[in-house]
Amino acid sequence: MLSNHTPRLPETYTSSKTFKPIFFTDPNDDSTADQQVPEFNAGTENPFLTRTERPVKPAVVSPSPFNSPSSVMDLSSSEKFLGTDKLHELNGSTTSTTMTFSPQTKSSYITPTRKYYRTFVVLSLLSMLMFLPPVLIGGVSMSCGARTGYCIPKIEFRFIDDSPTSPLTTIRESIRVITYFAMDLGSNSPAVDFSEQDIKEIDTFSVDNVFQLNYFGYCKTNYLSDEQTCSNFQTGLDLPSVLVRDAGTSLGTISNQRNPDDVGNSLVTGFHVILDNIGDDNEVAYKAIIVKFMGLILPYVILASFICSFVALVYAVVLVSLLRSKTKFRKMQTRVSLIFNLLNLLNLGSFMLNAGDLAVEYAYVTKLAEATGNSDLAVVGLGSGFYVQVLCVALQFIICFGFATLVLAKPWTK
């Protein structure tokens, strides 16, 4: 009985080649062992047969006792030969192997991206905060000058007693002594001898004036007329020197001097010489010398704090721009801790200088308020610039704490 794959040829079909199915080949027959199976040619196919009736292309297989009757191992024959359970087992093992390698490939791609994202986001947020300290420090410290146009004072001072029995009478007499002494100092001394009336017309010691002091200058505001005059002065926080200089500038204006500021500077020079001569024997003069050095040192302290914060800001901006590239981030992964520590060291230096400046100013104002309050001479207080600097110190503390936490957490390694 022939197989179902045997072609049924109509009577009109003729061919020069004889059709001999391969499954009739006897494997023990030597005459057919070397006979090649004719190649299946679509051209010899009977066009009158339907698709289901057309012959299947025979597969070339070597003679074996395991050959199936159809000589083609399809899905049904595979199930018969291997068994349904065995075939499902093989299919299951292939699927499990694919699932095993897929998560490893995905993990090796996502993990660097997450490391990069965490580090970049935290560093960007801290860098945005780092823009504020240089702006606050520079905006406060450079105010109250002759050309700034605004004043954010660190210290505010105002006389409250100008009666005949007030210590202001003694201070006015001291200005006359300083003026006489400054005339003997050389080329920078005023070229005119001031009269008693000129001394009395000095408005420096008026109770209507409010002095606003800062590192590199001061402003004098008359709150009745709302008139404000500002001057550049290197030791702006040195209150005694500021009063002497303003008194000398007023004398220069009253006496119609060409440059009143030169008169004020010459009186400050004479005042410092007097302090140096009597400072060892007079407690008040000794304290004035300490205030003078404080006024000289604090501007450089705040300048160093500004430089540290500005350099740290530039450092952070450059670092963020470099970390925008994931390739550069991977190259820098082994040195990220060192880079962040150097950046935090600059922030920490600016923070310590700024905090130290605040502590010195607070102690200075407190002592000055006690000295003037006991005699009811004047009122001394902290200005708005002091509180702005407190805010700056708080921001710098947050920045330093953020970088320290970042270095300890090391998100680029997780």
Q: Are residues 202 and 295 in the same domain?
A: yes
Least confident of 44-58, 194-208, 368-382: 44-58
Q: Could you tell me if residue 108 is inside a domain? A: no
Domain assignment present for residue 111? The answer is no
With bands split at pLDDT 50, 70 and 90, how would you rate the model's confidence at 189? Answer: low
| Better-predicted residue by pLDDT, 202 or 118 | 202
In a domain, 7, yes or no: yes
Give the total number of structural domains in the chain. Answer: 2
Q: Is residue 117 part of a domain?
A: no
| 217-256 per-position pLDDT tens digit | 999 998 888 888 888 888 889 998 999 999 888 888 887 7
> Is there a domain that residue 266 lies in?
yes
| 214 and 75 belong to one structural domain | no
Name the domain boundary from 20, 54, 82: 82
β-pair type (209-214, 155-159): antiparallel
Handedness of CA 75, 78, 83, 87 (dihedral sign): negative
Pair (65, 147) in one structural domain:
no
The C-alpha atoms of residue 177 and residue 199 are separated, in whole angstroms, by: 11
In this predicted structure, the answer to whether residue 14 has a pLDDT above a threshold of 80 is: no
> What phi, psi does 94 have (nearest 5°)?
-65, -40
pLDDT over threshold 80, residue 349: yes
Instruction: For residues 280 and 357, state if they share a domain.
Output: yes
Q: Do residue 42 and residue 167 come from a single domain? A: no
Same domain, 249 and 380: yes
- The enclosing H or E element of 101 equals helix 84-129
Question: pLDDT per residue over 140-159, tens digit each?
Answer: 998 988 787 789 999 999 98
Indicate whether 378 belongs to any domain: yes
* Residues 147 and 43 occupy one common structural domain: no
394 confidence band (pLDDT: 50, 70, 90): very high
Does residue 384 carry a pLDDT above 90?
Answer: yes
**Both 178 and 38 in a single domain?**
no
Q: Out of 21, 54, 82, pick the residue that ends a domain.
A: 82
C-alpha–C-alpha distance, residues 206 and 198, integer Å: 14
Classify residue 145 as left (phi > 0), alpha (psi -120 to 50) or beta.
beta
Residue 170 lies in a domain: yes
Q: Which residues of 75-86 are buried (b: 16+ CB within 10 A; e: fewer)?
A: eeeeeeeeeeee
The whole domain housing 37 covers 1-82
Query: Do 154 and 20 have their domain in common?
Result: no
Say if residue 216 is in the same domain as residue 282.
yes
H helix and E strand count, the chain: 11, 5
Answer yes or no: is 397 within a domain. Answer: yes
- The pTM assigned to this predicted structure is 0.67
Beta carbons within 8 Å of 372's beta carbon, 6+ residues apart: 378, 379, 380
Q: Are residues 16 and 149 in the same domain?
A: no
Whether residues 373 and 271 fall in one domain: yes
Choose one of 18, 50, 82: the last residue of a domain.
82
